[in-house]
């Protein structure tokens, strides 16, 4: 896997409970950080599909208590057919094989009529 892929996966990691409150409080103290974060999310939303789970914007407004079951990520992944395919092929914690080509797999499946 490439470093960029690993970095993106790290940024998509779900936080829960008090971690959400803590991350929100850090961004509330740094207006520049919060503004950059919200701009990045807005750009991503315009360029891609909807997020597959929550981001931290809800926790930027106030330090309200959270349920331990609540989760959010700094930059959640967007829902896509490719993501769905990857999750079916390699459910966590299955590692993606070295040299695997998602686009090659999509082309192969479309050619066989398996992916629509």
- 30 within 8 A of 66, measured Cβ to Cβ: no
Q: What is the pLDDT of residues 52-69, one digit of tens each?
A: 889 998 888 776 667 778
Q: What is the pTM of this model?
A: 0.62
Residues 27 and 45 in one domain: yes
Residues 4 and 29 in one domain: yes
Q: Which range marks the domain in which residue 47 is found?
A: 1-78
What is the pLDDT, as a whole number, of residue 35?
A: 94
**Res. 109: pLDDT tops 70:** yes
Q: What is the pLDDT of residues 66-75, one digit of tens each?
A: 777 889 999 9
72 Cβ contact partners less than 8 Å away, ≥ 6 residues apart: 14, 15, 20, 53, 54, 55, 56, 58, 59
């Amino acid at each position: 896997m490439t470093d960029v892929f690993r970095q993106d996966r790290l940024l998509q990691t779900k936080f829960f409970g008090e971690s959400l409150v803590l991350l929100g409080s850090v961004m509330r103290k740094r207006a520049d950080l919060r503004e950059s974060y919200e701009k990045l999310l807005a750009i991503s939303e315009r360029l891609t599909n909807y997020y597959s789970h929550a981001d931290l914007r809800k926790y930027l407004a106030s330090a309200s208590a959270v349920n331990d079951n609540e989760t959010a990520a700094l930059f959640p992944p967007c829902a896509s057919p490719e993501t769905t395919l990857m999750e079916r092929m390699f459910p966590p914690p299955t590692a993606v094989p070295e040299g695997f080509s998602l686009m090659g797999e999509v082309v192969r499946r479309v050619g066989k009529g398996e992916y629509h």
